[in-house]
């Protein structure tokens, strides 16, 4: 069984992926922003290892990881955590830009950098859960989409750089998915939230696991998941 590090395992798609991998008997490493969140994750997954690091402060991740045990070999790094702040460009302050770019883009780049030696040893897999907003930018979605367009660039460059090391890279572009983040988006949009209208997180998790489980002679580079109803 392999070792898998997941960000965003506390809710939504990340929680389902963690549950599925745990059911398979895989070794879980779960990233939490602080010790309290780490304790909550261990309650849900008693056999999991936790790492503490704040994605909103990526410059400190190297220091934080340097004081904790890391997996020697890592079969997958699953970037599922994310934040969203809607608003027109004319109303979006620097703080909102920096928060989304830190959590959605710079921190995944830094976590990947710090764990690449472990991924290379295992000929592992990096999965970026992007967004439909990583493919098009609509009104009020500018700052979030910019962070997700950047993740696409990160993944595309990493895929080519690490191909020779046997590290696979997959970007997943889910449409609207019934998660706590989607509930927040609807509040920001002033719309009523009906989870039945959107993709179940279990369906996105199935797509992620399909990419992980593909034999090593092939690589799923991109998956776009759209609502089926």
For 107, what's the count of Cα atoms within 13 Å in the CB-facing half-sphere?
28
Task: Name the 3-class secondary structure at 151.
Answer: helix
Report yes or no: 38 and 107 within 8 Å, Cβ to Cβ.
no
From 29, 144, 149, 198, the catalytic residue: 144
Distance between CA atoms of 3 and 120, rounded to whole angstroms?
A: 13
Burial class of residue 106 in the structure, from the number of CB atoms within 10 Å of its CB (0-12 exposed, 13-18 middle, 19+ buried): buried
144 tagged catalytic:
yes
Which secondary structure element, helix H or strand E, spans residue 169, and what is its range?
strand 168-174
Q: Which of 79, 73, 118, 22 has the alpha carbon at shortest distance from 211?
A: 79
Backbone angles phi, psi at 67, to 5 degrees: -105, 10
* Residues known to be catalytic: 144
């Amino acid at each position: 069984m392999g070792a898998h590090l997941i960000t965003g395992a506390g809710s939504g798609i990340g929680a389902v992926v963690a549950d599925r991998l745990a059911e398979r008997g895989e070794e879980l490493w779960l990233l939490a922003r602080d010790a309290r969140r780490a304790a909550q994750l261990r309650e849900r997954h008693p056999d999991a290892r936790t790492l503490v690091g704040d994605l909103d402060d990526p410059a400190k991740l190297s220091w934080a990881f340097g004081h904790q045990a890391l997996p020697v070999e890592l079969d997958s790094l699953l970037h599922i955590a994310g934040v969203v702040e809607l608003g027109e460009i004319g109303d979006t302050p620097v703080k909102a830009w920096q928060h989304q770019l830190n959590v959605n883009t710079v921190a995944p780049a830094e976590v990947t950098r710090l764990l690449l030696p472990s991924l290379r040893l295992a000929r592992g897999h990096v999965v970026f859960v992007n967004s439909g907003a990583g493919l098009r930018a609509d009104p009020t979605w500018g700052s979030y989409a910019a962070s997700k367009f950047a993740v696409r660039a990160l993944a595309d460059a990493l895929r080519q750089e690490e191909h020779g090391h046997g590290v696979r890279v997959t970007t997943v572009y889910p449409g609207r998915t019934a998660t706590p983040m989607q509930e927040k988006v609807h509040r920001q949009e002033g719309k009523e939230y009906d989870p039945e209208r959107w993709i179940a997180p279990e369906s996105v998790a199935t797509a992620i696991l399909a990419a992980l489980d593909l034999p090593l002679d092939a690589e799923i580079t991109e998956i776009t998941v759209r609502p089926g109803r």
